[in-house]
Structure 1
């Protein structure tokens, strides 16, 4: 019997890390199901791929959107990449209900629900779940409170599912990239310099992530430095507290934050 071509389903595939991972998956011989809220960006991604591609314009925060994704996957799926996300930045007291709800709903709730709905298809292939988290889910930055909360939760979800779904032969990988140059960067561009952030390209993130995914790694970090910071967070959190509290309180950080808040309110 001829082996079936493996299929990878990627949410948030219209730009950034999602698009770059789609390119990596296509190069490794996977058929693709690309999911996003708008069709045109998905078509732009598909135009760059030399693979069998199905496009699913759907809002995965809705039951109808998730149903469309599940229907596209059918009864077999090899890799699910939960990449779709939203970013809300600013003082918690400046975030409105809608911003918080959209951030939690997209980054966490939709990922939980979509994963639940695709477990039968993943079980059929003893497939793999890949959750795209963030270093903000390892080290929580001030002014990223809602976003960090969702990524910490996604990391916990990954650990729990790895243990829970092992009976079906499903593996789980958590990817923790640092800040990345994507369209969402505009949301926190004003904080890059005050916090001394180092930004990676989506292509660099995707290349490292895909290599780890294919190797079946449980957790993928961007580099050695981030592993050290994650260890410090676990072993000596007061050091991270002091460093980030200092950076958050500098005049440069406060001026950038106040300017961004005024622009958002205008």
Structure 2
């Protein structure tokens, strides 16, 4: 893949930051988007070809700022990475938590892709949606998050089919749990659910291999591939395993503890 202009949302921390570092190593030009300027500026200072664009992708004004910038630079790859990871018992989930998760994880990628579509068509570029294994395997106590990633996966499939005649590729990347600031929000569940957390750098390197190859989707190179296959072919097996997990007293206690946090 020759040098591309790459826009990454949620670039200041976590997977977004690691994606930017890996893209810079590969020689791409970067547009770093995030709500807070300081992490973006700090990141850009260590990269070779990066510009900073503070913007809130959940608002029309923020997306308009991004679209105006892209008109000037052109765009080859849009990486919809910004997201939140709500967790806890669904019975204690508040309306504003649901709305915020769907606004950032679902509505923003759809709207931003629409707003940047003309530039992507000109370059015959690529949309990359950062999903999750939880977008294939719906986990108890992550109901809202799983719903948002199922939606993003569906959007990716539909978008891929719609834009193929115009030469625009769509790649859906589904990592498993990753060691980021967002993971602190569900830290109580990591032990009881026996989760394995990957390093953001490993996730980013794996994602960029899929992006470079313009793959349809990328799952983690771990046992989760088998679980996804079972989910698609024998969902009852996954149901039994996760219902058993949801009944575990340690998991219930951890989820209740998360739900009681302010």
The TM-score range, normalised by the shorter chain, is over 0.9
Structure 1 segments unaligned to the other structure (5+ residues):
none
Give the secondary structure class of the aligned counterpart of 2:192.
helix
**1:209, distance to aligned residue in structure 2 (A):** 0.4
Contact 1:33/1:72 (<8 A) preserved:
no
Distance in 2, matches of 1:69 and 1:44, equals 20
Correspondence for 1:21: 19
- After the TM superposition, list the runs of 4 or more consecutive aligned residues in structure 1 that deviate by more than 6 angstroms: none
Give the 5 Å matches for 1:93-242. 93-242=91-240
Correspondence for 1:69: 66
Distance in 2, matches of 1:152 and 1:87, equals 13
- Deviation per CA, 1:75-124: give whole Å up to 9, x if none: 62100000000121111111111100000000000100000011100011
**1:249, distance to aligned residue in structure 2 (A):** 1.2
Question: What's the TM-score once normalised by structure 2's chain length?
Answer: 0.97
Aligned residues: 260
Question: What's the TM-score once normalised by structure 1's chain length?
Answer: 0.95
Correspondence for 2:54: 57
Correspondence for 2:33: 35
- Deviation per CA, 1:210-252: give whole Å up to 9, x if none: 0111011111111141211011001111111111111111111
Distance in 1, matches of 2:111 and 2:43, equals 25
Name the CA shift for 1:80/1:88 in 2 (closer, same or farther; >3 Å). Answer: same
